[in-house]
Amino acid sequence: MGEMDRQRRAVSAVDRRMFVKVSAGSMAAVALRSAYTMDALAQETSAEAGYQFFTAHEAETIDALAEQIWPTTETSPGGSDAGVVVYIDRALGGAYQRYQPIYQAGIQWLDDATNEQFGDTFVGLAPEQQFELMDAVFNADATPAASPAATPEPQVDGVPVAATPEDTAEIAPSDGKVQVAGGEGPHIASLKAFLDLVRVHTMEGLFSDPVYGGNRDFAGWRAVGYPGPYIVYGAEEQQSFEPLNQPLQSIADL
């Protein structure tokens, strides 16, 4: 809120004049406002300065997880080549700042777990060992302990911060929060919730527009046969029962 809304207010006064005649010729309005969108995107994806949030070790860990979640196969690149870690890093430095503590803790839980089982950090393991560990965690029949005392909830004005849409919907469907295991070591349910969050963010890094830093060279979209944004679809394309084979494009190309 604030400056952006002030601008919006000013702009909406201009746009109001255009209301009555809303037509396909509304591209003037497009030009008027696209400046805002693109600035914000450019800021979020200026990759030159290395990672915005991750340490080198954290980045390597997330990169390895993304590769396990979406592995390189004969037909297409995996999560690592698709730049998923760049997407997640930019997100954590921006729109997903609230997840920073979860990532920091989660990577530590993961390393604690692999140290205990294999005597090394996650990135130090062979890919097969990484898979084995992840498979065990994902398949664990574990949900976070429901005791409120065991799960400190960060609150803003009485509302748990952790219970944002993504948290309740995706981190831990069972009770809406990642367990912060105070002094008791990593909790399998917390780790499972963390890995599932990384899974969801990996999907975002594969299938969001490349302007967000992931989906590098359209690796995610190309793999699944999605061409990116198109403005118009005609009957012939829509009624085809064959692959459409459209050239790939980004919102940066529109």
Partner 1 sequence: MAVLPKKDVVIIGYGAAGGPISVELSKAGYSVVALERGEHRTLADFAPKAFDTLRWVTRREMVPTIEEMPLTFRSDLNEKATPVPYIMANTVGGASVHWSGQSWRYYEEDFRVKSTIEELYSSEQLAYLEEDGANIQDWPITYDDLEPYYEKTEYHVGVGGWPGNIQGEIRPVDPEEGNPFEAPRQRDFPFRPLRDNATDITFREGALNLGLNPFHVPTAITTEAYTNPDGVERAACSYCPFCTSHGCWNGSKSDTRVSLLPTAEATGNFELRSNSHVLRINHENGRAVSVDYIDLITGEQHTQPGEMFYLGAYSFQNVRLLLYSGITGGGQVGKYFINRSGPSVHAIFDDRYLNGYAGPAVQRQGLDDYNGENNVDEKLQMSLDDFFVRGAFIGSPSQRNPLQTYGARPPEVPSWGVAYKEYFTENLNRYIGLQLLQEPLPYETSYIDLDPNYTDKFGVPAARVQRQAKQNEIRMSRYIYQKGVEILEAAGAARVWGSDTPRPSATMTHDLGGLRMGSDPSMSATNRYGQLWEVPNILVGGGALAPTMSGHNPTETIWTLSYWTSAAVLEGKLDLEDSQAFS
Going by C-alpha positions, the residue among 93, 84, 113 that lies closest to residue 194 is 113
Going by C-alpha positions, the residue among 99, 162, 223, 245 that lies closest to residue 214 is 223
Using the minimum distance from each CB to partner 1, give the nearer residue, 120 or 131. 131
The least CB distance from residue 180 to partner 1, in Å, is 17
Stretch that binds partner 1, among 100-108, 114-122, 151-159, 186-194 (CB under 8 A): 151-159
Q: Which of 48, 128, 141, 157 binds partner 1 (CB under 8 A)?
A: 157
Backbone φ and ψ of 19, nearest 5°: -55, -50
Maximum alpha-carbon separation in the chain: 69
Q: Residue 69 to residues 63, 127, 149, 172, 229: CA-CA distances in angstroms?
A: 10, 12, 33, 18, 25
Stretch that binds partner 1, among 50-58, 64-72, 114-122, 178-186 (CB under 8 A): 64-72
- Would you count residue 117 as binding partner 1 (CB under 8 A)? no
Q: Which of 101, 108, 160, 248 binds partner 1 (CB under 8 A)?
A: 160
Q: How many residues bind partner 1 (CB under 8 A)?
A: 85
- Which residues lie closer than 8 Å to 252 by C-beta, 6 or more apart? 209, 210, 211
- Would you count residue 126 as binding partner 1 (CB under 8 A)? no
Measured from the Cβ of residue 141, the count of other Cβ atoms closer than 10 Å reads 7
- Find the binding residues for partner 1 in span 76-115 (CB under 8 A): 76, 78, 95
- Would you count residue 207 as binding partner 1 (CB under 8 A)? yes
Joined together, the tokens standing for residue 25 give: 């010729």
- Find the binding residues for partner 1 in span 217-236 (CB under 8 A): 220-221, 223-226, 229-235
- Which residues lie closer than 8 Å to 121 by C-beta, 6 or more apart? 57, 61, 111, 114, 115
- Would you count residue 241 as binding partner 1 (CB under 8 A)? yes
Q: Which of 50, 73, 149, 184 binds partner 1 (CB under 8 A)?
A: 73
Q: Which of 42, 164, 186, 213 binds partner 1 (CB under 8 A)?
A: 164
**Window 15-44: contact mask with partner 1 (x via CB under 8 A):** xx-xxxxxxx-xx-xx-xxx--xx------
